[in-house]
A and B are shown apart, each in its own frame.
Chain A
Amino acid sequence: GAGVSQTPSNKVTEKGKYVELRCDPISGHTALYWYRQSLGQGPEFLIYFQGTGAADDSGLPNDRFFAVRPEGSVSTLKIQRTERGDSAVYLCASSFGQASYNEQFFGPGTRLTVL
C-alpha cells in the first residue's frame, strides 16, 4: 500500500518568505509527527497530532512555526518569515493508535533551503 508522502520534495525560498510543507500519512493512521533533520544530525521532534489536535507541540522552535491537521489526515507545516537557519530536511511520520511503542512510518522528507 501507499506509504507516507510529502510534497514538495525540495523547496528553495528566500529569507523572509512564507512556506508550506505538506504531509499525507498512511490511510487510517491517527497519529502524525513532524521532525526536522539538520545536516549531520538525527531527526528532532517538532510536533505530534492525534487526530485533528496537536497533542504535543513542545518541539516547535518558535512562533514562526505552525502546523495544522484539520480533517485528521493530511497535515501542513507552515513556516513564516523563513530564516537561513530553517534550512533542513523536514520529515513527517505516521503511526496507528496511541502508544509510544508503535512503529512510526516515515516519509521521504522535504528538503528546505532558505537563501
Chain B
Amino acid sequence: AQSVTQLDSQVPVFEEAPVELRCNYSSSVSVYLFWYVQYPNQGLQLLLKYLSGSTLVKGINGFEAEFNKSQTSFHLRKPSVHISDTAEYFCAVSERGGSNYKLTFGKGTLLTVNP
C-alpha cells in the first residue's frame, strides 16, 4: 500500500516570489510520482511526472519537481509564481510495474498567489 503526505494544506505567496510545495510518500514497492493541479471549477490536470532517469523533472507552466529516493520526497517548485498559478496542487503515486494502476493522492495544497 502507498500513502502520500502533503505537509502544507495552504501556501500563500506574493506574485513573482518562488514557491515550494512539499510531498513525501510511503510505499512498500517502487512507485511512479505525479503532480496534478486543479484550477477553480476545472478538472485535475497533469503538471509533471517522474518515471525514471534524471531526478529533476520539468513540467508545464514553469513548474519542476525533484525526486529524492532517500528522503522519499517529490517536492514541487517554481522560481517565480503568477496570479494565475492560484490553484490546488495534488501529489500522487502509482505502483510501478504492477497490475493496479490507481493513483493514490495526498490531501492537496492550496496555493494562493497574492498581488
Q: Which chain A residues have a beta carbon within 8 Å of chain B's beta carbons?
A: 3-4, 31, 33, 35, 40-45, 48, 55-56, 59, 91, 93, 95, 98-109
A-B interface contact total, Cβ < 8 Å: 71
Q: A42-B4, A101-B32, A101-B51 are in contact. Are A3 and B103 (CB under 8 A)?
A: no
Q: A41-B107, A42-B108, A106-B43 are in contact. Are A101 and B94 (CB under 8 A)?
A: yes
- B-chain residues with CB within 8 Å of residue A45 when the two chains form the complex: 102-104
Is the beta-carbon distance between A43 and B103 smaller than 8 angstroms? yes
Q: Shortest distance in angstroms between B103's beta carbon and chain A's nearest beta carbon?
A: 6
Among residues of B, the one whose C-beta sits closest to the C-beta of A95 is: B101
Among residues of B, the one whose C-beta sits closest to the C-beta of A50 is: B101
Contact code string B72-112 (vs A, CB < 8 Å = 1, else 0): 00000000000000000010101111111111111110000
Is the beta-carbon distance between A33 and B102 smaller than 8 angstroms? yes
Is the beta-carbon distance between A100 and B32 smaller than 8 angstroms? yes
Q: A42-B107, A44-B105, A101-B94 are in contact. Are A91 and B44 (CB under 8 A)?
A: yes
| Separation of A102 and B95 alpha carbons in the complex (Å) | 12
Decide if the interface of chain B is mainly helix, strand, loop or mixed: loop
Q: A101-B49, A106-B43 are in contact. Are A42 and B99 (CB under 8 A)?
A: no
B36, B43, B45, B106: which contacts A109 (Cβ < 8 A)? B43
Q: Shortest distance in angstroms between B63's beta carbon and chain A's nearest beta carbon?
A: 15
- B-chain residues with CB within 8 Å of residue A33 when the two chains form the complex: 101-103
Q: A100-B100, A101-B49 are in contact. Are A43 and B43 (CB under 8 A)?
A: no
Is the beta-carbon distance between A43 and B101 smaller than 8 angstroms? no
Is the beta-carbon distance between A55 and B43 smaller than 8 angstroms? no
